[in-house]
Amino acid sequence: MTDTHVMILNDGRELAWVDIGPRRAPVVMVFHGTPGSRIQVSYDEGAIVASGVRLIALDRPGYGHSTFHKHRQLTDWPGDVAQLADHLKLQHFSVAGVSGGGPHAVVCARFLPERIVAAGVVSGVGPMSERSLGGGDMKGVNRALTAVAARSPWLLHPLFWAQDFAVRHWPEPVLRAAAKQMPAADVATMARDDVKAAFMEDARRSSKTTALAAAQDFALFGREWGFRLEDIVVPVHIWHGDADRNVPLTHARHLAERIPGARLHLIEGEGHLLAVNHLEEILRTVAVPAGGSEAQK
């Protein structure tokens, strides 16, 4: 595995990441989903190398080797990212977030416009405090979690603890059960040996605070995000599959309509795991946005 780096943030928390690719290549910081870790978005080194970027995959607070941040708000994340960028001496870079990492890419685009070249949202969650995004064609378990998070976030802790325990101890049966609610595209993706191995590794290395972090994510996604999407000024690309059952296409359309100039890449037939098959394209696109200038000089 690629070496994992850890730094101490200003408030004493640890922030972990992996760094893959040439030092002088355009930089893309990538944020994993809910739950997950840096492993989820960095295992396919072939696609990363082919993209020509330097990928920095972070563990978000409470996942992997990064410390849980008890009272965090979504708007705290750009500060962590900026501290890492300063530590690595990066003035300009791009960001991309997958699923639950999507809002984290969006908030960076809003609050770090002087440093972010472009942002990517892949199968990303929209602001679920908006009534139109709280249910609809979202799969049943996510509708239930969203409803609970909106009312009593603390009730999610035992639910996510049980999920994390099951994934740690019985990953293959959990995968088989999950596949029953997946579209055909996601079932095929999860059947790949490299994807299955990454899932197993992610489960094996799961943090003791994963359940807390996942519950916190759902609570944050279901509240007001703390900023207006209309105030984002950097280029934003949004990828979404029309067969996604975890996060419905309505989330992507909402983000695309509200973020000025955002471009929606609708992938026909793809499900929630579209990043697996389109990683190279995603990294190339956010690293060099329309206009052609590279992300990091």
Mind listing the pLDDT tens digit for each residue in 13-45?
999 999 999 999 999 999 999 999 999 999 999
Can you tell me whether residue 32 is helix, strand or coil? coil
Peptide linkage before 171 cis (omega within 30 of 0):
no
CA separation for the pair 9, 21 (Å, rounded): 24
Specify the DSSP element, H or E, that contains 217.
helix 210-222
Residues in the chain: 297
CA separation for the pair 228, 258 (Å, rounded): 9
C-alpha angle 221-223-227 in degrees, rounded to nearest 5: 90
CATH architecture of structural domain 4-287? 3-Layer(aba) Sandwich (3.40)
- pLDDT tops 80 at residue 8: yes
- pLDDT tops 50 at residue 294: no
- pLDDT tops 80 at residue 56: yes
CA separation for the pair 205, 225 (Å, rounded): 30
- Nearest CA to 207 among 167, 254, 154, 155? 167
Q: Residue 149: its pLDDT value, please?
A: 66
Q: Residue 136: its pLDDT value, please?
A: 53
Average pLDDT over residues 256-280: 97
CA separation for the pair 293, 297 (Å, rounded): 9
Specify the DSSP element, H or E, that contains 84.
helix 77-87
Tens-place pLDDT, residues 130-167: 866 755 556 556 667 766 766 676 777 788 888 888 88
Tens-place pLDDT, residues 199-232: 889 988 889 999 999 999 988 998 899 999 999 9
CB distance 139 to 265 below 8 Å: no
- Nearest CA to 275 among 2, 81, 116, 43? 43
> What amino acid is encoded at 198 in this protein?
A
CA separation for the pair 273, 113 (Å, rounded): 28
Extents of the domains making up the chain: 4-287
Q: Residue 167: its pLDDT value, please?
A: 83
What is the DSSP secondary structure assignment for residue 139, as one 8-state letter?
-
CA separation for the pair 74, 90 (Å, rounded): 22
Can you tell me whether residue 59 is helix, strand or coil? coil
